[in-house]
Amino acid sequence: MGRLTTAKYYAAATVLLPCTAVLIWPSKVWLTAVFLVWLIAAAVFWIRTERKEHAERTARTIQSLQTSAIRTLNHHRHDWMNDLQVVYGYIRLKKLDKTVEYVEKISGRMAVESQIAKLGVPSLISYIQSFRTISNTLELQVVIQGDIHLNEITADADQIAETIIHTINAYRFAAKPGYGDAAILKLELSLDQEALYAAFYYEGELMNEQQWKQKIQQQLDGALMQPINFEQPYAKVLLKAVMRA
């Protein structure tokens, strides 16, 4: 409990003193007046404290978002610099075939970034784009079949995005750290006329498969997206959400 919250509850508790006095001596008009003034003062203090707490929470949230955005931009800048150095090296060595091949690789990666940005749900877009800044044990790869605009195809876009994020997090927290390459989670999103599909393909080990399974079941309990099947306990999970306008 924070300092402001504690002060707020203490202020509310002090009202009990004049309230008790009024109950004991109900005929004392001046006690009733004191109680009303005290009550108003406590209420004003409570409201001001609530506003200050809200302002502080908002400031912390904004700062957290700004910090996350800076980390994400720094990672992207680092990738761009690496790409430029590789392309420049190929050009200097006059390896035009390698240059073209690498530029096509960059173009493909940018196309995926564009598809992610078109998903239409800020929380999901931000989460995927900043994933490398929050995980060292799991690499997230995203494949989107065509352009999917969740916010345009369903009124449940936020719920679907939340389920996808929770499912990725279940893998992220369960991924077993290793001394070699990080585990890989491939997310494939596809859409037909009836439903949206999210397929999760995992390459790596889990610290505790049973805990992972329980976490997945908790996240999917009552969710709009539901599993179609589990071909392997954790290597492949396929979710489906029927589209509702």
Query: What is the Cα–Cα distance from 226 to 240, expressed in whole angstroms?
Result: 5
Q: How many independent structural domains does the chain possess?
A: 2
Within a domain: 93: no
Query: What is the Cα–Cα distance from 194 to 155, expressed in whole angstroms?
Result: 14
pLDDT, tens digit, 9 for 90 and up, residues 37-96? 777 777 777 788 888 877 777 787 777 767 767 777 777 788 888 889 999 898 999 888
Determine the structural domain holding residue 180 and report its residue range: 118-242
Q: For a pLDDT cut of 90, what percent of the chain falls above it?
A: 22
pLDDT of residue 243: 73
Query: What is the Cα–Cα distance from 233 to 211, expressed in whole angstroms?
Result: 12
pLDDT of residue 124: 92
For residue 54, CA distances in Å to 41, 42, 45, 58 come to 20, 18, 14, 6
Within a domain: 201: yes
1 has a pLDDT exceeding 60: no
Are the beta carbons of 137 and 99 closer than 8 angstroms? no
Within a domain: 210: yes
The mean pLDDT value of the chain amounts to: 83
Within a domain: 88: no
Are the beta carbons of 121 and 151 closer than 8 angstroms? yes
Within a domain: 104: no
Is 128 found in the same domain as 32? no
> Starting at the edge strand that comes first in sequence, how are the strands of the sheet with 226-232 ordered?
138-144, 183-191, 195-203, 236-242, 226-232
Is 129 found in the same domain as 231? yes
CATH, residue 128: 3.30.565.30
pTM: predicted TM-score of the whole model, two decimal places: 0.72
pLDDT, tens digit, 9 for 90 and up, residues 8-18? 666 667 777 76
Q: Is 238 helix (H, G, I), strand (E, B) or coil?
A: strand
Within a domain: 75: no
Within a domain: 10: yes
Within a domain: 72: no
Residue 245 binned pLDDT confidence (cut-offs 50, 70, 90)? low
